[in-house]
Amino acid sequence: MDKTIQGTSSGSAGKIRVLLVDDSLLVLELLTRMISTSPDIEIAGTARNGKEAIPKIELLNPDVVCTDLEMPLMDGLELTSYIMQNTPRPVLVVSSVVDQTRDSANVFALLKAGAVDVHQKPNLMNNEDFHKAARELNSKIKVVAGVYIFKRKPASDRVATAPLNIQQRKGRFRAVAIGVSTGGPQLLAEILPGLPKDFSMPVFVVQHISDGFIQGLVNWLDKNCALEVKIAENWESPKPGVIYFPEEQTHLTIERGGRIFLSKDPPLDGHRPAVDLLFSSVAEYYRDSVVGIILTGMGKDGVKGLHRIKSRGGVTIAQSEESCVVYGMPGEAVKTGAAVKVLSPSEIIRELIIFDQLNKNHHG
């Protein structure tokens, strides 16, 4: 990240203080009720648009700003850009995606501007749905608030990475598998467009993201990548130069002769799709010819699977701490020895291009 997100003052009894920005009074009331169910979060204030929010940010100094996208006078994109340039702090986009092409492009433009994550705006709901949605929103706010807690090491303190004797490889690299969570859309929009249009491997990506946004993410990336980016189809045979995402609430694995298998099996450690399932399956099928990459995100999903890839002789990469929004998943991969290399996003692109060129040289 180019901009360092600084911590802000704590609320009463160490609570996370949130400023809500939305032009709908009904939405503000609903979000306030939802957040009020958490003992760890409090509402610092509300605003009806970005122009109204700016002086409140200066006055109230909230830990997190939750903003809608479309608002009068100053929309969420302008507000996010202002915050990142003048008073950096975590921004969570809370928005509805109505038109997958138009709205999602705008939502992900906010992420590119510096917002940390996106969350689907709640609808009017029954009591059971309300409490489930409240738990999900409050959990997301806690993750976003924790972004600035992760200390960033100077480059000189980076973990040493083991050299790869790739020049001595006898076989080709056959696939790339990527696991990512919080901060992922922005990072994928940096890494994936760096791959050439004749890239010689399929790329499988599991991105943890709120329901309602995965198709928009795929559309957004597809417009900005030389490679085709698509939602995977069940029993599809992966093709080189195509980037595959599972549909929301669906596990993606590689099974039976290398075909894609999608399932609605229960979440694994709270995740569906789960990075661990993708990584474990590519380790079994591709063995030493797969590259596993674990990127920014909270928790440990993908670490066990990355160990499986490493044990089969595959290449394992973790994102460097100083380039992460949240160093949870990559940090666990480094700490447990699952990652052979620790790289920045630009270094990851360079590494993948090297592997691609080795494939082409090998084929030639």
Cite the beta strand spans of the chain per DSSP E: 16-21, 41-47, 64-67, 91-95, 117-120, 175-180, 203-207, 228-231, 242-245, 251-255, 259-263, 290-294, 315-319, 341-343
Strands 251-255 and 259-263: antiparallel
Task: Please give the Cα distance from 265 to 141 (Å, whole number).
Answer: 27
Nearest to 194, CA basis, from 220, 241, 221, 226? 226
SS3 192: helix
Catalytic residue among 301, 307, 320, 323: 301
DSSP 313: T
Could you give the CA distance from residue 137 to residue 27 in angstroms, rounded to a whole number? 13
Active site residue 307: no
Q: Could you tell me how far CA 229 lies from the centroid of its own chain?
A: 16
CB burial of 65-99 (b: ≥16 within 10 Å; e: otherwise) equals: bbbbbbbeebbbbbbbbbbbeeebbbbbbbbebee
Catalytic-role residue among 119, 208, 251, 307:
208
Rounded to the nearest 10 degrees, how much is the dihedral formed by the CA atoms of 116, 111, 89, 324? 50
Backbone angles phi, psi at 150, to 5 degrees: -70, 115
CA-nearest of 95, 135, 285, 301 to 206 is: 301
The residue whose two tokens read 């789960």 is 274
The active-site residue, picked from 181, 200, 289, 320, is 181
CA distance 199 to 291: 14
The rounded distance, in Å, linking the Cα atoms of 119 and 212 is 9
208: annotated active-site residue: yes
- Beta strands 315-319 and 203-207 are unpaired
- Whether 276 is a known active-site residue: answer no
Positions annotated as catalytic residues are: 181, 208, 301
